[in-house]
Amino acid sequence: MSTTSTDEQRAAINLVDRRPARGGVNGTFLWIEIKRLVRNRRSLIFTLVVPAIFFAIFGLANKNQMMPGGQHSYGEYILISLTVYAAMTSATASGAQVAVERAQGWSRQLRLTPLQPGAYIVIKAVAALVMSFISVVAQFTVGALFGVHLDTGTLIAAGLTAWLGSLVFAALGLMAGYLMPSQNVMQLLGPVLAILAMLGGLFMPVQIMGDTFVEIAKWTPAYGIGQIARSPLTQDWNWIWVLNAGIWLVVFAVGAALAFRRDTKRV
């Protein structure tokens, strides 16, 4: 009896010893994830090139036209909006890469290691934030090159909102990556993100599209983040926008966790 108890204790100790520090969150793993994302040319096109093209289409024609109230120009408004779009696209693409990993068997390999599921999600989220930060800087740079400049305070506040708000879409990407077996998941999500951006008022102010679109926009995941990001420019604020972003973050995060759990049970 004592021998059995001793063996069980030793097995428990060995199991604890195999658990990596911080669950497996480390700089090496994060760096590998970032390099894998940067090398994906298709994702870079979606996250860096497409938002710049949209800015040229939607923002340049009337960039110097003043918005109602005369406090800011249309170009400034659209630049911030499309920076949010660039960040959300980048974060979604980063999260959705789990679909490719599942298809290649990488996720299955990771499950054979002591890496904790929570650490895996954290690594994915941090990598998504790194990529969305790059997209935010790139979009503001494109705006500056085309002659649309924001004051320092507005630029920092809008950039931070777009960057941190992209976590909502990193969760969306993770959820989609676990639900969609296709390696071309971003080809499917790309149009969805464009529709969400349009309905959320990122391509043009929803007010000019009519009252119906204004009401629809309030229920979309891009609306709250876009409104918060533009608030330093518009000098407007509503806590409903924070609630909107928070609810969608919870919805997508819970969806990603459930999809991850379902996928793990298959092994």
CB 174 within 8 A of CB 95: yes
Both tokens of 38, joined, read 């940067």
C-alpha span between 208 and 11 (Å, rounded): 66
Q: Cα–Cα distance between 218 and 241 in angstroms, integer?
A: 8
Give the residues across from 66 on adjacent strands: 73
DSSP 8-state symbol, 73: B
Residue 164 amino acid letter: L
The H or E element spanning position 176 is helix 167-179
Q: What is the DSSP letter of 65?
A: P
What per-residue confidence (pLDDT) applies to 120?
Answer: 74
Q: What are the residues whose beta carbons fall under 8 Å from the beta carbon of 214, sequence distance 6 or more?
A: 206, 207
Q: What is d(CA 194, CA 71) in angstroms, rounded to the nearest whole number?
A: 28
Give the tokens for residue 99.
């679909």
Number of Cα atoms under 13 Å in the Cβ half of residue 101: 24
85-118 residues labelled b (16+ CB within 10 A) or e (exposed)? bbbbbbbbbbbbbbbbbbeeeebeeeeeeebeee
**40-79 per-residue burial string, b: 16 or more CB within 10 A, e: under 16:** beebbebbbebbbebbeebbbeebeeebeeeebbbbbbbb
Cβ neighbour number for residue 138 with a 10 Å cutoff: 19
| Tens digit of each residue's pLDDT, the chain (267 residues) | 445 555 544 544 444 445 555 445 666 777 877 887 777 777 777 778 888 888 888 777 777 777 766 577 888 888 999 999 999 998 998 888 887 777 766 666 666 666 666 677 778 888 889 889 999 999 999 888 888 888 999 999 999 999 999 999 999 998 888 887 666 777 788 889 989 999 998 988 887 777 888 888 999 999 999 999 999 988 889 999 999 999 999 999 888 888 877 766 554
Bridge partner residues of 73 (DSSP): 66
Q: Please give the structure tokens belonging to residue 100.
A: 């490719």
CA–CA dist 105, 108 (Å, integer): 5
Closest by alpha carbon to 47, among 56, 57, 37, 60? 37
DSSP state of 45: I
